Amino acid sequence: MKRLLVFVVSDSVGETGDHVAKAIISQFRPSFEETIIRRFPHIQSEELIRKIVHLAVKQNALIVYTLVQQEMRTFLNELCEKEKIHAVDIIGPGLKSMAAFMEEIPLETPGIVHQLDDDYFKKIEAIEFAVKYDDGRDPRGLLQADIVLIGVSRTSKTPLSQYLAHKRYKVANVPLVPEVDPPDELFMIDSNKCIGLVISPEKLNYIRKERLISLGLNDDAVYAQHNRILEEIKYFEKIVDRIGCQVIDVTNKAVEETANVIIEYIATYK
C-alpha cells in the first residue's frame, strides 16, 4: 500500500482542513492505514508557504489548504503547479461561488469562525458559573468571579447575574440576611468588583407582598413587613460600608439598565 502524507495548511487553526482531509481520505482508507496528516496552522506569509511547499516536494506530500486570502491561495497554487505538487483548495471555490451569489466581496479575515466559537464557549462558561454560584451557594466562587452582587432578597441579583453572564461576565451573588454572617470570602475580594444593590423600602415591600401572594401565602408575613425590610437594609448598609463597594439603587431600574451601569463601572477599574 502506498504511503500517504497530507499537509493541511491553514491561516487559522486548521480544523476545517483537517476534517475535510480526513473525510476524503476515509473514502480510500477507512482505517487510515499508512496515512499521516500533518497540520500547519496560522500560515499567513509567503515565506512560510514556500517552506511548506519545499518540504512537500521533499517528502512527496499532498497539500490541502484553507486560506481565506485570495492572494495567499494564488501564491500557494502557483507554487504547487510549478513544483508539480498536488494541492486541494478547500475554501477558495466556496468563497468564489458565495461572492458571485451575494454580489459581495469576502472579508478574507482568518480565524473568524474560531473567534466566534471561543466567544460562544466563554458565554456558556459564564452562564454555568452564574448558576453554580447563585444565591451564595458556594462562597469559593466569589474569589473566581468577575463581578459579585450583594443585596437583600428581591433586589434582582439572580436575573442580573444571568444577564451579565450572557455578556460573558462570571457573576456570583450573595443574599444579605441579618441572621446569617456573610462568607469570609466576601471580604477577601477586590471591593471594585463587588456591587451592592439597594432598593427603596416601599418598592421592596410591594415586591415581597406580590411574591408571597404568587406563592399562595399571606402577604402579611414578617418577610414583607416594613420594619423587617428596614432592618435588612440597615444590615446591608453595614456590610457595604465594611467592604467599601459601589452601590446601585435598582428601585426604578430595569435589569438591562442596571446591568449596563455595572458594566460601565467595571470597565473603569480594569
Summary mean pLDDT of the chain:
93
**Mean pLDDT value across residues 92-108:** 90
**Mean pLDDT value across residues 103-127:** 82
Nearest to 182 by CA among 149, 207, 155: 149
Whole-structure pTM value: 0.63
**Exposed/middle/buried for residue 88 (C-beta within 10 Å: 0-12, 13-18, 19+):** middle
Do residues 12 and 111 make contact, with C-beta atoms less than 8 angstroms apart? yes
> Which residues touch 269 (CB under 8 Å, ≥6 apart)?
192, 193
Other CB atoms within a 10 A radius of the CB of residue 238 amount to 11
Q: Where in the chain is the domain with CATH 3.40.50?
A: 4-110, 116-269
Nearest to 147 by CA among 197, 183, 181: 197
Least confident of 35-44, 112-121, 176-185, 235-244: 112-121
Q: What tens digit of pLDDT does each residue of 243-258 get?
A: 999 999 999 999 999 9
> Could you tell me the three cell numbers for 4?
500517504
Q: What tens digit of pLDDT does each residue of 164-178 get?
A: 999 999 999 999 999
Do residues 66 and 17 make contact, with C-beta atoms less than 8 angstroms apart? yes
* pLDDT of amino acid 248: 97
Going by the annotation, the residues of the binding site for ADP are: 151-158
Q: Which architecture does CATH list for 116-269?
A: 3-Layer(aba) Sandwich (3.40)
User: H or E segment at 149?
Assistant: strand 147-151
Higher pLDDT, 64 or 220: 64
DSSP 40: E
Q: Which architecture does CATH list for 4-110?
A: 3-Layer(aba) Sandwich (3.40)
Going by the annotation, the residues of the binding site are: 151-158
**Beta-bridge partners for 244:** none
Question: From CA 173, how far away is CA 149, in angstroms rounded?
Answer: 4
* pLDDT of amino acid 270: 64
